[in-house]
Amino acid sequence: MADPTPDPEVEELRQRLAALEQRQAPPRRHRVRSAFAVLLVLLAAVLTPLSVVAAWTRAEVGDTDRYVATMAPLAEDPAVRAAVTDRVTAEVMKHLPVSTLLEQVAPDDRPLLDKALGALGSTLTDGLTGFVHDRVARVVDSPAFATAWVTVNRDAHAAVDRMLTGKGGGAVELRGDTVTLDLAPVIAQVKDRLVSEGLGVAAKIPEVHTDYVLVQSDALPKARTGFRLLDLAGFWLPVLTVLVAAGGVLLAGRRRRALVTAALLVAGGAALLGLALTVGRAFYLDRLPAGVSQDAAAAVFDALVRYLHTGVRTVLVLGVLVALGSWLTGPGRRATGVRRVWAAGFGAVRSTAGRAGLRLGPVGRFVHRYKAWLGWAAVAGCALALLFWSYPTGAVVAWLGLALLAALGLLELLDERPEGLPGERPEGQPGGPPDRPVDGAAGP
C-alpha cells in the first residue's frame, strides 16, 4: 500500500514548528566564560569576611569617636569595674604598707604599737586593705571614673593601632601577647580620695603606672600582621569584593540567577564570620590565665567586636534583600505570581478610588509612561543612601528596603493606564501578544 501524499499545510506547519523550536532553543554556553563567572562569585564570597574585618579595622583606627563609643560602655560594666577595683587596690597596697603608719605615731608610743601589731598580725593589714578597697570601689562607681575612662581612651585613640601594629607607648600598648591599659589616672583619683578621708600617709604614694589587661592571647602576635594588612586594605578590599561579584554576574549566562546566587553567597560569607566570632570568643575565654576575670574579659571582647557584629548583620541583611529583589523581578512562575498579586491588590484600590470619583489625571498617565524609569530611580536612590551612610547597620539596610518597597508600591498605586491609547488593551482580553517576561528584562 503506497504512502499517502503528505498534506502541504501539515508540512508547512511542521517546518514552522521546527523553526520556532530552533529559534527558542537556549544558546550554547561558553564554558570558559561560565567557569570564570563561577570562580569570581566564589571569590567574592571568600573575600566578604575579610572585607567586613577590613572595614571594621579601618573604622576603629581612623575614627576617634567610633573608638570611644566602642570602649566607653566598659566603664559601666560591673565585671570590668570589679576587676579594675581589685587591680588598683592591689597596686595601692604595694605602695601603702602598714609599717608606714608608724611614722605618724609619737616615738614614746611606738613600743606599744609594735606590740599591738604583733598581736593583731594580718588582721590590721586586712582591715586596711578593706578600707582601701572600699574607697577604690567608690571612685570606680562614681561618674568621675566614667569620665576619666572616656578621656583616657580619647587621648589614647591610637590604642587600637598600637594593638594591631605593636607600637609601644601611650595609655594602651601591646606587650608580647597582652594588650594592657594604664590605670594611672584612676590611681591618682584614689590617692586624692584616701587623703581627703583622713589617710594622710596616702599622700606619699608616688605616681604609679599599673596595667589592666584588656586582651591576652598567644595568637595576638600572629594576628597582628594580618590585621595590619587588613588595615592597609581598608576601603579598597570591600570595593574589590563588590567589583569581583559584579564581574561574576556580568560573565554569567543567566545573570539574574547569578545575581541571586552571588548575593546569597556573600550573605553566607558574612554569616560564617559571625559564627567564627562566636566560636573564637569561647575559645579565647577558655584559654585565659587563671587570674584573669572571665566576666571582665568577656565584656572587653564583646565591646571590641561590637561593630564587627554590626557589619556582619549589615552584609547579611543586604545580601538577602538583593537576592529576594532579584528573584521577585525575574520570570519565574512563583515570582510572576507574586507580582500579579501585588499589581492586582493596588489595582483594586485604584479602581475603588476611581469609582469614588478620585482620578489621578496627568499624574497617573505620567507614572504609567515612566513607571520603569521611576522604579529604577527609587532603587538608585536607596543604593546611594546606603553608599554614603557613614556606618550602616542591619536595621538601616532593612529600613531602606522597606522605603524602596513603599516607593514601588506608591508607583503601582499611581499607575493609571489611559483608556483608548493605541496599543493598549485591557488585561485578559485577546488582541496582543501574551505576557511573557524575559530574563533580565523585568523592571523593579
C-alpha–C-alpha distance, residues 61 and 44, integer Å: 25
d(C-alpha 172, C-alpha 208), whole Å:
15
Q: Does residue 18 lie in a domain region?
A: no
Poorest-confidence range of 275-289, 358-372, 415-429? 415-429
**Which domain-ending residue is among 199, 221, 243?**
221
Residue 204 within a domain: yes
Neighbours of 135 (CB within 10 A): 23
- What's the pLDDT score for residue 383? 87
Q: Which three cell numbers stand for residue 20?
A: 520556532
Question: Is residue 252 a part of any domain in this protein?
Answer: no
d(CA 313, CA 294): 26
The pLDDT score that the predictor gives to residue 431 is: 40
Residues 344 and 211 in one domain: no
In a domain, 436, yes or no: no
- What per-residue confidence (pLDDT) applies to 271? 94
Tens digit of pLDDT for each residue in 298-309?
Answer: 888 888 888 889
Poorest-pLDDT segment among 163-177, 190-204, 231-245, 325-339: 163-177
Query: Which residue, 288, 297, 289, is CA-closest to 83?
Result: 297
Overall average pLDDT of the 84-92 stretch:
81
Is the model's pLDDT at 382 over the cut of 60? yes
**Residue-wise over 334-344: b if at least 16 C-beta within 10 A, else e?**
ebbeebeeeee
Alpha-carbon distance of 414 to 92, in angstroms, equals 73
Query: Poorest-confidence range of 115-124, 139-148, 197-206, 367-376?
Result: 115-124
Cβ of 146: how many Cβ atoms within 10 Å? 17
Q: Which of 100-104, 269-273, 312-316 has the lowest mean pLDDT?
A: 100-104
Higher pLDDT, 408 or 218: 408
Q: How far is CA 242 from CA 22, 127, 148, 246, 297, in A?
A: 37, 63, 42, 6, 35
Using one digit for the tens of pLDDT, what is the confidence trace for 165-221? 555 455 555 555 566 667 777 777 777 777 776 666 666 676 666 666 666 666 666
Question: Which of the residue ranges 193-202, 217-226, 280-289, 396-405 would you say has the lowest mean pLDDT?
Answer: 217-226
The pLDDT of residue 357 is 66
Same domain, 365 and 216: no
Least confident segment among 58-62, 211-215, 253-257, 307-311: 211-215
Domain contains 392:
yes
Tell me whether residue 255 is in a domain.
no
Query: What pLDDT, on a 0 to 100 scale, did the predictor assign at position 312?
Result: 93
pTM of the predicted model as reported, rounded to 2 decimal places: 0.70
Split into its structural domains, the chain has a count of 2
Which pLDDT band holds residue 92 (cuts at 50, 70, 90)?
confident
- 248 pLDDT higher than 70: yes
Q: Is residue 369 part of a domain?
A: yes
In angstroms, how far apart are the furthest CA atoms of the chain?
147
- For residues 141 and 85, is the Cβ–Cβ distance under 8 A? no
Decide if 29 is inside a domain.
no
Whole-angstrom distance, CA of residue 347 vs CA of residue 417? 10
Q: Of the ranges 16-20, 47-51, 180-184, 368-372, which is most confident?
A: 47-51
pLDDT at res. 172? 53
Domain that holds residue 339: 331-414
Enter the DSSP assignment of 99.
G
2-16: b or e for each residue (b if 16 or more CB lie within 10 Å)?
eeeeeeeeeeeeeee
- Residues 214, 77 within the same domain: yes
Domain end among 191, 221, 251: 221
Work out the average pLDDT over 68-90.
Answer: 84
Domain end point (choices 188, 221, 254) = 221
Give the whole-angstrom CA distance, residue 5 versus residue 117. 130
